[in-house]
Chains A and B, each alone.
Chain A
Amino acid sequence: MTATITSPAFRENAHQALQDKQLQAVLGTMRTGFSVKRAEAAAALPEFEALRDSARDIKNHTLAHLDLYLEQYEAKVTASGGHVHYARDAAEARRIITDLCRELGAKTVTKGKSMISEEIGLNDHLEREGFTPVETDLGEYIIQLRHETPSHIIAPAFHLSAAQVEQDFRRVHTQLPPERDLSEPVSLLNEARQALRQHFLAADVGITGANFLIAETGTSVIVTNEGNGDLTQTLPKAHIVLASLEKLVPTLDDCAQMLRVLARSATGQDSSVYTTFSTGPRRADDPDGPGAYHVVLLDNGRTGMLGTSFQEMLRCIRCGACMNHCPVYQAVGGHAYGWTYPGPMGSVLTPALIGVAKGGHLPNASTFCGRCESVCPVRIPLPKLMRHWREKEFERHLTPATTRSGLALWGFFARRPWLYRQATRLGAATLALAARGKGKFASLPFASGWTQGRDFPAPEGRTFQAMWAAEAGKRRLAGAQPGAKGQTR
């Protein structure tokens, strides 16, 4: 995987994605996949909306007391025989992990799925330092073989077809007979199971992320369907948990609340298959489990979001519902966003973590339809936060010149209502005349970007404001309530 940032080239990335027939075929399945399953799961649980409120409140409470819960969490991890390491940024986290791997005499490092690991570019670093990282989540394993990054936070290989995976397995699993039959997708799953089993048993260190950290008991929680995270953390000599600080929740009971909204929002399951609560290393009488337990807590810009309007983003539990329901994500997929986190949550988080200069363009990748906020399990006002980033981008003069001059032109007319009405009346009448009664344009000067893919509807000759004024006149004549214009909010 690479940690190269291509977010500033979102337009070009998106354009490329739209031309990619294979990707478009895959993205076409989104409307019948995750979002339908989420809707069914939410509808089947009468308490679901109340649980979303509860999840939001738990995260708000934790963030408001984050310093104190961190101290409590650390004390509990230490008491259970584990170690907590704090990392200010990606480089510090990478160094802590490779130092630990070296101390532990590691060679092979198995990895459970972790977006924080992607965020800090851990695999490249492990390789550079002489370790062999092996991703064990099936999707992550596939994209590691392809030297790609995840295109979705819970389904990293979402963008690939079974045929592509078959090609990769034939290329990499050269110890297996070339004539083997891999035409059924399940045979690919079985082959990966066999291949990864060897790695699980051979690994010296297992690195996982954490869906939650529990202050009450110093526990890390992972949620998976495959069981790869459990094999990763149970079999090697040491388990390293890599998590960002905002994963914290106060108590085991709080975690139970969060779990109810996580799986339903992510995949539409009532519960993921494996929810695992890990507290410290192997105990005196344990016949299995890791001998050492380390937690690396990453900041990487998050403490700077506290106390700002972006604090709300730190409630995010990485379910992926916002991208599953986003018309922009559905059109261009995850890679177009150009960094670790795609979709609406990525558009808000990325500028905070890598800066407005590099990530500030992403909040423009939104139609503001509001579906992301309507499905967010912790009720993050994603459209509002994207709007805040747009304002910041504009303030810092990072908005493209065409957009700025367009807005300036609109601003000039908007401040002169009389001129605005004249100009729009003239424009609408001209376009209506030019359409010659066909009601649409197949091509228009300066608007080829639009008309390449669809017709531009022609105005019918009168502006909305003119029609509204005429309607208002009629209502007054009909003796309607005075003050009807107050209806415009």
Chain B
Amino acid sequence: MTARDEILANIRRSLGVTGQEEPRRQAVADRLARPERGVVPARGQKSGAEAIATFRKYAEAVQTTVAIVNGPAQVPAEAARWLSVNNLPARLRMGADARLSAMPWGATTLDVSQGPSAGADLNGVSHAFAGVTETGSLILLSGPDNPTTINFLPDNHIVVLDSADLVPALEDVWTRLRAEAGSDPLPRTVNMVTGPSRSGDIDRTIFLGAHGPRAVHVIVIDQHATP
């Protein structure tokens, strides 16, 4: 008997079932076909300016910094400004995301290169798939557009978030992914990032910048923002 068969047989013996009972199979099939939303906190259920303000509040509570610009064209200047005030080199690594590529990086003095990170990049920029209002979290999807290594290897991570992609809760991210990708919803990696890297393992005190980025700066694109 293989380990697999033995483990499944043990589970069935312990539970007193055969695995063939129709009501059990139906209960599982139903749950998978129609996921239950469960308890979703009210604090993220906001829209418009209120959603942006709430996202910002929770993001800043975990040391993410947030800037709001009123169009994609303003993103490169904001990125350059943030790198400059933090005395960081004017160099950026990014993936092939068309939304990022279309931005006027040439109008800044930034030296922008494309591709995944191999560990030598100090600064990276990604475009978020979504932002979660409830926790001030960023949702990043793997792939050529926004390689996962850019989320973790650079010391400083700039993330562009379109305010139209703000959702109240993680459940809404799943709904959107299921709708966009059909029956096979997930890319290889979905990263939910809530603040810069940190550790409490030394002296039971939280310090930022353990292994991932030491700083996370979100640039929110909001058409309604006053320039």
Interface set of A (CB-CB < 8 Å, partner B): 26, 29, 33, 45-47, 50-51, 54, 58, 61, 64-72, 74, 79-80, 85-88, 92, 136-139, 142, 155-158, 161-162, 165, 185-186, 188-190, 192-193, 196-197, 200-201, 215-217, 219, 225-228, 230-231, 234-235, 245, 250-254, 256-257, 259-260, 267, 269-283, 285-289, 297, 299, 303-308
Contacts and interface: CB of A to CB of B under 8 A. Distances in A.
Nearest to B41: A47
A227 B211 contact: yes
Contacts of A64: 15
A234 B149 contact: yes
Smallest CB-CB A-B distances: 10 pairs: A227-B212, A226-B210, A306-B14, A139-B201, A303-B10, A307-B14, A251-B35, A138-B201, A277-B190, A86-B3
7 contacts: A54-B38, A65-B27, A68-B25, A155-B201, A226-B210, A231-B153, A306-B11
B95 to A, nearest CB: 7
B82 interface: no
B149 A235 contact: yes
Contact of B119 (A61, A186, A197): A197
Contacts of B197: 225-227, 273-274
A275 B116 contact: no
Contacts of B38: 51, 54, 58, 253-254, 256-257
Contact of B186 (A61, A196, A257, A279): A279
B217 to A, nearest CB: 15
Nearest to A49: B39
A308 to B, nearest CB: 8
A304 B12 CA distance: 10
Contact of A278 (B119, B151, B170, B189): B189
Contacts of A161: 203
Interface string B80-124: 000000000000000100000000000000000001101100000
A256 B203 contact: no
Contact of A271 (B17, B137, B143): B137
Given A273-B197, A289-B148, A225 B190 contact: no
Nearest to A74: B4
Contacts of A26: 204
A197 B41 CA distance: 38
Contact of B198 (A158, A226, A279): A226
Interface string B148-186: 110111000000000000000111001000000000111
B131 interface: no
Contacts of B119: 197, 200-201
A256 B10 contact: no
A107 to B, nearest CB: 19
